[in-house]
Amino acid sequence: MKDLKEIATRLKIAKNNVQNLKEKNQGTNAASLGKALKISTELVASVFVGTIIGFLLDSWFDTKPLLTICFFFMGVAAGMLNVFKSAKKMNKKLQKKE
Protein backbone atom coordinates (compact mmCIF):
# COMPACT_ATOMS: atom_id res chain seq x y z
CA MET A 1 0.00 0.00 0.00
CA LYS A 2 2.92 2.26 0.69
CA ASP A 3 3.88 1.95 -2.96
CA LEU A 4 0.49 3.19 -4.08
CA LYS A 5 0.66 6.22 -1.83
CA GLU A 6 4.06 7.09 -3.18
CA ILE A 7 2.76 6.81 -6.70
CA ALA A 8 -0.19 9.00 -5.85
CA THR A 9 2.07 11.82 -4.73
CA ARG A 10 4.33 11.35 -7.73
CA LEU A 11 1.32 11.48 -10.02
CA LYS A 12 0.20 14.69 -8.38
CA ILE A 13 3.58 16.28 -8.95
CA ALA A 14 3.69 15.11 -12.54
CA LYS A 15 0.20 16.44 -13.21
CA ASN A 16 1.17 19.79 -11.75
CA ASN A 17 4.20 19.95 -13.99
CA VAL A 18 2.14 19.13 -17.07
CA GLN A 19 -0.39 21.81 -16.13
CA ASN A 20 2.38 24.38 -15.77
CA LEU A 21 3.85 23.42 -19.10
CA LYS A 22 0.47 23.71 -20.77
CA GLU A 23 -0.09 27.18 -19.38
CA LYS A 24 3.35 28.25 -20.49
CA ASN A 25 3.09 27.46 -24.18
CA GLN A 26 -0.50 27.67 -25.22
CA GLY A 27 -0.95 26.74 -28.85
CA THR A 28 2.31 24.95 -29.49
CA ASN A 29 4.23 25.18 -32.74
CA ALA A 30 2.96 21.83 -33.95
CA ALA A 31 -0.64 22.88 -33.58
CA SER A 32 -0.01 26.10 -35.49
CA LEU A 33 1.70 24.19 -38.28
CA GLY A 34 -1.33 21.93 -38.49
CA LYS A 35 -3.62 24.93 -38.78
CA ALA A 36 -1.49 26.48 -41.51
CA LEU A 37 -1.46 23.28 -43.55
CA LYS A 38 -5.20 22.95 -43.08
CA ILE A 39 -6.05 26.42 -44.31
CA SER A 40 -3.75 26.40 -47.32
CA THR A 41 -5.24 23.25 -48.83
CA GLU A 42 -8.77 24.41 -48.14
CA LEU A 43 -8.20 27.44 -50.34
CA VAL A 44 -6.87 25.36 -53.22
CA ALA A 45 -9.32 22.46 -53.05
CA SER A 46 -12.41 24.62 -53.56
CA VAL A 47 -10.96 26.22 -56.68
CA PHE A 48 -10.21 22.75 -58.01
CA VAL A 49 -13.68 21.41 -57.22
CA GLY A 50 -15.39 24.51 -58.64
CA THR A 51 -13.47 24.29 -61.89
CA ILE A 52 -14.24 20.58 -62.26
CA ILE A 53 -17.95 21.15 -61.68
CA GLY A 54 -17.89 23.94 -64.26
CA PHE A 55 -16.08 21.74 -66.74
CA LEU A 56 -18.55 18.88 -66.27
CA LEU A 57 -21.55 21.19 -66.66
CA ASP A 58 -19.93 22.68 -69.74
CA SER A 59 -19.57 19.37 -71.50
CA TRP A 60 -23.12 18.58 -70.43
CA PHE A 61 -24.75 21.75 -71.78
CA ASP A 62 -22.24 22.34 -74.60
CA THR A 63 -21.40 25.86 -73.49
CA LYS A 64 -17.69 25.27 -73.55
CA PRO A 65 -15.68 27.91 -71.75
CA LEU A 66 -18.49 29.88 -70.14
CA LEU A 67 -19.47 27.77 -67.15
CA THR A 68 -15.91 26.69 -66.43
CA ILE A 69 -14.92 30.33 -66.01
CA CYS A 70 -17.98 31.15 -63.89
CA PHE A 71 -17.47 28.17 -61.62
CA PHE A 72 -13.75 28.83 -61.35
CA PHE A 73 -14.50 32.19 -59.77
CA MET A 74 -17.19 30.67 -57.60
CA GLY A 75 -14.63 28.10 -56.49
CA VAL A 76 -12.30 30.92 -55.52
CA ALA A 77 -15.12 32.49 -53.52
CA ALA A 78 -15.89 29.16 -51.87
CA GLY A 79 -12.21 28.75 -50.97
CA MET A 80 -12.16 32.13 -49.30
CA LEU A 81 -15.39 31.27 -47.51
CA ASN A 82 -13.79 28.06 -46.27
CA VAL A 83 -10.74 29.89 -44.96
CA PHE A 84 -12.94 32.52 -43.37
CA LYS A 85 -15.06 29.87 -41.68
CA SER A 86 -12.13 27.95 -40.23
CA ALA A 87 -10.45 31.15 -39.10
CA LYS A 88 -13.65 32.09 -37.33
CA LYS A 89 -13.74 28.68 -35.67
CA MET A 90 -10.15 29.08 -34.47
CA ASN A 91 -10.97 32.52 -33.09
CA LYS A 92 -13.92 31.14 -31.19
CA LYS A 93 -11.76 28.41 -29.72
CA LEU A 94 -9.12 30.90 -28.61
CA GLN A 95 -11.71 33.11 -26.98
CA LYS A 96 -13.16 30.15 -25.16
CA LYS A 97 -9.74 29.35 -23.73
CA GLU A 98 -9.21 32.84 -22.40
Partner 1 sequence: MALNPMHQFEVYKIGPEINLGGVNLSFTNATLFMLISAILISSLLFFGTKKKLLIPSKLQLITEMSYTFVAKMINETAGSSARSFFPFIFTLFMFVLFCNMVGMLPYSFTVTSHIIVTFVLAAVVFIGVTVIGFIKHGIKYLELFVPKGVPLVLLPLIIIIEIISYLSRPVSLSVRLFANMMAGHTMMKVFGGFVISLGLLGGWLPLSFSVALTGLEILVAFLQAYVFAILTCIYLNDALNLHH
Among 14, 18, 44, 66, binds partner 1 (CB under 8 A): 44
The correct pick among 38, 63, 69, 94 for binding partner 1 (CB under 8 A) is: 38
Contact flag: residue 67 with partner 1 (CB under 8 A): no
* Distance of closest approach, residue 16 Cβ to partner 1, in angstroms: 18
Binding flags for partner 1, 73-92, as an x/- string (CB under 8 A): -xx-xxx-xx--x---x---
Cα 38 from Cα 94, distance rounded (Å): 17
